Chain A
Amino acid sequence: ETGVTQTPRHLVMGMTNKKSLKCEQHLGHNAMYWYKQSAKKPLELMFVYNFKEQTENNSVPSRFSPECPNSSHLFLHLHTLQPEDSALYLCASSRALGSYNEQFFGPGTRLTVL
């Protein structure tokens, strides 16, 4: 059983919809991450949270809004998305920030924007 879960696994939404992606980690980690994986592009870091505080926003458009209510949960709120936002959105967690801390990933949410 994976220590990082994501819901939903698949999501189809229109450009005017508002939806949220949920991530939960059961590993007791303190850092959580959102990544975007588009076809034929490297994995792109979107946001980093450490002890519930956002430490990095990698120039992500404001139509993506993260929320981290506690160290175990991470949300990505979506509104007025564009078709080019269609991608696999991966959540990850690590024990702490730092180069020696491996990140554990969830199964991802495959998002399609119509």
Chain B
Amino acid sequence: AQKITQTQPGMFVQEKEAVTLDCTYDTSDPSYGLFWYKQPSSGEMIFLIYQGSYDQQNATEGRYSLNFQKARKSANLVISASQLGDSAMYFCAMRGTTGNTPLVFGKGTRLSVIA
């Protein structure tokens, strides 16, 4: 079974500062994928970034980067130069490769960017 843990129910960050959202995971699959999604108040889940378990380098997408530490089973999301529009719920998710394993989500972190 797979499990995602996000220990920060809510986070505040000053505009233009960087923020790290924590995510730890647990799986017995040798190969898996890790995802981060953003959910604004409108409800839509927006895909942000993907990290494969065998990727040698940390994934980056614009202002988003994933701090992947495989031995610690952590996949923290780093948002640089925060903007007011970054205020939203952020979900970490993972999916294994054994059979048709589903995408498992954490409970999310609510990020509030302060002007």
Chain A contact residues, CB within 8 Å of chain B: 2, 33, 40-43, 45, 48, 50, 55-56, 58, 88, 90, 92, 97-100, 102-108, 110
Q: Once the chains bind, are B50 and A100 in contact (CB under 8 Å)?
A: yes
Selected contact of B45 from candidates A42, A48, A92, A110, CB within 8 Å: A92
When distances are taken between beta carbons in the complex, the residues of chain A under 8 Å from B95 are 98-99
Residue with the highest number of chain A CB atoms closer than 10 Å, among B33, B45, B101, B106: B45
- A-B residue pair count with CB separations less than 8 angstroms: 63
Q: Once the chains bind, are A105 and B32 in contact (CB under 8 Å)?
A: no
> A99-B96, A99-B97 given as contacts; is B50 within 8 A of A105 (CB)?
no
When distances are taken between beta carbons in the complex, the residues of chain B under 8 Å from A33 are 103
Q: Once the chains bind, are B43 and A104 in contact (CB under 8 Å)?
A: no
When distances are taken between beta carbons in the complex, the residues of chain A under 8 Å from B33 are 99-100
Within 8 A of A (CB), among B89-115: 91, 93-97, 100-108
Q: Once the chains bind, are A99 and B52 in contact (CB under 8 Å)?
A: yes
When distances are taken between beta carbons in the complex, the residues of chain B under 8 Å from A92 are 45
Q: Please report the C-alpha to C-alpha distance between residue A55 and residue B101 in the assembled complex, in whole angstroms.
A: 10
**B37 within 8 Å of A by Cβ?**
yes
> A48-B102, A99-B52, A99-B101 given as contacts; is B31 within 8 A of A107 (CB)?
no
Residue of A nearest to B47 (CB): A102
**B46 within 8 Å of A by Cβ?**
yes
Q: Once the chains bind, are B43 and A110 in contact (CB under 8 Å)?
A: yes
Q: Once the chains bind, are B44 and A43 in contact (CB under 8 Å)?
A: no
